[in-house]
Amino acid sequence: MRVLILGGDGYLGWPTAMHLSRLGHDVHLVDNGLRRRAHRENETDSLTPIAESLSARARAWEEVDGRRMGVSMGDLCDHHVVERVLREFEPEVIVHYGEMPSAPYSMASRAHAAFTQYNNVIGTLNVLFAMRDLAPDAHLVKLGTMGEYGTPNIDIEEGFIEVRHKGRSDVLPFPKQPGSFYHASKVHDSVNIALACRIWDLRATDLNQGVVYGIHTEDTKRDERLLTRFDYDEVFGTALNRFCLQAVIGHPLTVYGKGGQTRGYLNIVDTIRCVELAATNPPAAGEYRVFNQFTEQFSVTELAELVARAGREYGLEVVVKGIDDPRVEAQEHYYNATHTKLLDLGLQPHFLSETLVESMFEAIQRYRDRVILDRILPRIRWRPREPLPASP
């Protein structure tokens, strides 16, 4: 298949590209370098020393694997970029990772919130219109997030729920309660994509993904130039990856608030397999479908305890420390989310284990002198501590 990967330079986009290329698909990548730029502005960096550019990555891939990937550097918010690549590459599948993916980033200021929603919503609108006009039969595989659902007091279903009400019933979009302007931007996307499928007969799979962990895939191990990024900072890092790094460098594992926040998690190798499964099993024209893409649920405390146990066995001194929750979120809540559709398509999950955590320790050890210590603790708060006075 001809697979276009938007956001092909990211933590997941790059390993997805290698995976699909190795399977024999014709892969073309688009990226605007936003993630690298945001890291430079924050004075943060990937733990892993990734290749200097997406083109360098593609060249290394060709040397190591023998297969070619096309690369276009450009911004999805510039509709000419999107239209040109759809016209020239004629994709059959469009895997869309090309968004600002950080909740803390979106909460840092008004400008960050507005940029996040502009970037994600307008970029995706440009993709939808370009598909309508230039690739109406292509299949959009869009990365959403489990965070769109929030933490309702009922089981979370995969995108839709049958609601019985006053003697009638209908299958309706599952109600969304996002917890940040980033998560809200993904809800906006979902609404726009569903609409485009309905009115233009486009086909799309929305992958509401849990929190991804892991540092290596089959391909990143083949050559250091093929490493994917690994973020641990307050803006782009996520719970389990950060805990593993904290354990290795002797930093307390920072549990936000009570630690009862429960979410879906999955291994990075399962992410790329899920995207492959979605891509190779397209929906019908006009269908907007949603898969919940994760393999296990954990509370933050459970993750911290698992990492602490594994760390002690590995010979590390690990301390778990509760800190003020910078977010506004339920710290104890019901959480049970359905996630059978990808299993039905053949996903065989790689579950989290102490062995897996220990292998992450090993990989992190190798790059521990690259850690930027003062960028780990959260400084961005959902509720700014000192709001400006009303009448200055």
User: Which amino acids are annotated catalytic?
Assistant: 145, 182, 186
Please report, as residue ranges, which positions from 278 to 337 form the binding site for a copy of itself (by CB under 8 A): 328, 334
Min dist CB 271 to a copy of itself, Å, is 26
Question: Out of 60, 73, 161, 249, which residue is the one contacting a copy of itself (CB under 8 A)?
Answer: 161
Task: Pick one of 1, 65, 68, 200: the residue that binds a copy of itself (CB under 8 A).
Answer: 200
Amino acid at the residue 153: N
User: Is 195 a residue that touches a copy of itself (CB under 8 A)?
Assistant: yes
CB 99 within 8 A of CB 185: yes
Select 14 or 181, whichever has its Cβ closest to a copy of itself: 181
Residue 114 CA, chain-centre distance (Å), reads 20
Coil vs helix vs strand at 33: coil
CB of residue 12 to a copy of itself, shortest distance in Å: 25
Among 181, 230, 265, 288, binds a copy of itself (CB under 8 A): 181
Cβ atoms < 10 Å from Cβ of 215: 25
Q: Retrieve residue 236's tokens.
A: 């782009």
Contact between 90 and a copy of itself by CB under 8 A: the answer reads: yes
β strands within the chain, DSSP E = 2-6, 26-31, 70-73, 93-96, 139-145, 160-165, 168-173, 203-209, 211-213, 253-256, 262-267, 288-293, 296-299, 320-323
Q: Does 187 bind a copy of itself (CB under 8 A)?
A: yes
Residue closest to 298 by CA, chosen among 210, 237, 233, 378: 210
| Residue 192 contacts a copy of itself per CB under 8 A | yes
Dihedral of CA 123/124/125/127: which sign?
A: positive
Using CB under 8 A as the binding rule, whether residue 87 contacts a copy of itself is answered as: yes
Whole-number Å distance between alpha carbons of 41 and 375: 12
Selected from 137, 218, 332, 362, the binder of a copy of itself by CB under 8 A is 137
Per CB under 8 A, does 154 bind a copy of itself?
yes
Which residues are near a copy of itself by CB under 8 A?
Answer: 79, 87, 90, 110, 113-114, 117-118, 121-122, 125-126, 129, 132-137, 152-155, 157, 161, 163-166, 168-170, 172-181, 184, 187-188, 191-192, 194-195, 198-200, 328, 334, 382-384, 387-388, 390-392
